[in-house]
Amino acid sequence: MRDRAVNIIPTGTANLASVMAGLRRVGAEPLIAASAEEVLRAPRVVVPGVGSFGAALAEVRRRGIDVALRERLERGSPTLLICLGLQLLATASEESPGERGLGIIAATVKRLPPGVLRPQLGWNQVTTGAGARCVAPGYAYFANSYCLYEADSSWTLAWSDHGGPFIAALERGPQLACQFHPELSGAWGLRLLDAWCAAC
């Protein structure tokens, strides 16, 4: 199904198998992006989650696709970023001091607050704001110790709460970033993946 082709950026630590399986369940054709040119030209790109901020950035840079990914995001091309993928949009992260993120969002990824389970592992409620296209209210599966608490007004935000509200997802046109794992979030997550593929 070439109309639902999706190129996945390997970050070195991501669980590619579960992401690819989730995409196939909604009729997508997942492929591994092998070059910067593929990242730039692909109809859809996914940046999967799992791993650390610094290690993922190092792998993306080693493969020479960091600049292509940033260009793709800046021009508004259809892109889905999952868990750690969302965090790479920021300028920095407390997880990897001194490491520069993609800088698409002028904010720092911060550790979840003390007094709560870290990492957050399991289901949590997602609430959406006005203008959400792909993310619907529901319950999603999270696996994170870090998160974003702010983003600029060009993004439509969805929220969750774990020791206080944090950003669960960001939408901007055909670009979607999820702190949760849609591929592990049951029927609700598959509907989101399907909605993103269709919106692109």
**Which residues are the active-site residues?**
83, 181, 183
168-200 burial: b if 16+ Cβ within 10 Å, else e: bbbbbebbbbbbbbbbbbeebbbbbbbbbbeeb
Cα 49–chain centre separation: 7
Distance CA 132, CA 126 (A): 12
Distance CA 5, CA 11 (A): 19
Distance CA 70, CA 101 (A): 10
Phi, psi for residue 57 in degrees, rounded to 5: -65, -40
Distance CA 24, CA 26 (A): 5
Q: 38 exposed, middle or buried (CB, 10 Å; 0-12, 13-18, 19+)?
A: middle
**For tokens 């070059």, what's the residue?**
35
